[in-house]
Amino acid sequence: MTLVSVTKGVAVGRIREVIDAGLAHIGENRIQEAQGKFGVLNEYARTLNRRLTWHLIGHLQTNKAKDAVVLFDLIHSVDSVRVASAIDAQAAKIGKVQDVLVEVNVSAEKTKFGFQPSETAAAVGEIAVLKNIRVLGLMTMAPETDGPENVRPYFRRLRELMDECNALRITSQELRVLSMGMTADFRVAVEEGATMVRIGRGIFGERH
Ligand SMILES: *Cc1c(COP(=O)(O)O)cnc(C)c1O
């Protein structure tokens, strides 16, 4: 289980405290904010003989792919073949194979990014053939509801979609990563097979 500390809106001083406490996975939504923290936090980790792993969890615009491949170890939010192609092209330029997750809009909400469940397997197939991309798994955001039990079916669906992709042998290596669960619903996500949870408020308190 990987705990990704979601540090959007959190100042570097407070992020250093969680690094001191042993957390090594940093999740940011925006390129610009990540750029502002990247150097200073990596340097801080280095003084502790540690290395941070950077996760992009927010929507990525095609024109920011160049920066994203420089900054991030894992991009969770690949929500179109177009952005995957941009990532692939930029990764090729710097000789990197970029690890990614394919984002699925399991609740089919209009306001959310991600592939529809019915198009996920085909999308994974199209993205997985890109030479400078490696698809490790799937990511989703559950809808906000009044009770965590209400989101269980969405997490279960993501798990089933990964199993379907693996049964169809769409990727050369089995998909293994399920990034699902935030402060409000991570317990249910873990019960349904999450291998990565993304926690912001549960670590840092409410955002202001
Ligand atoms: C903000 C955010 C999180 C963390 O949410 P919390 O409720 O603060 O735990 C997780 N994933 C994504 C994509 C986010 O934007």
What tens digit of pLDDT does each residue of 93-124 get?
999 999 999 999 999 999 999 999 999 999 99
pTM of the full structure: 0.98
Hey, what are 143's tokens? 């809808």
Do residues 56 and 75 make contact, with C-beta atoms less than 8 angstroms apart? yes
Ligand 1 atom index nearest CA of 202: 9
Strands (E), the chain: 2-6, 25-28, 53-56, 74-78, 98-103, 133-139, 177-179, 196-199
- Given pLDDT bands bounded at 50, 70 and 90, which one contains residue 203? very high
Please tell me if the CB atom of residue 201 comes closer than 6 angstroms to any atom of ligand 1: yes
Ligand 1 atom index nearest CA of 77: 13
**Mean predicted lDDT score pLDDT of the chain:** 97
Q: How many CB atoms are closer than 10 A to CB 139?
A: 26
pLDDT exceeds cutoff 90 at 195: yes
HSE toward the beta carbon, residue 128, CA cutoff 13 A: 20
Which of 4, 55, 56, 57 to mutate for ligand 1's pocket (most ligand atoms within 8 Å of CB)?
A: 57
Please tell me if the CB atom of residue 6 comes closer than 6 angstroms to any atom of ligand 1: yes
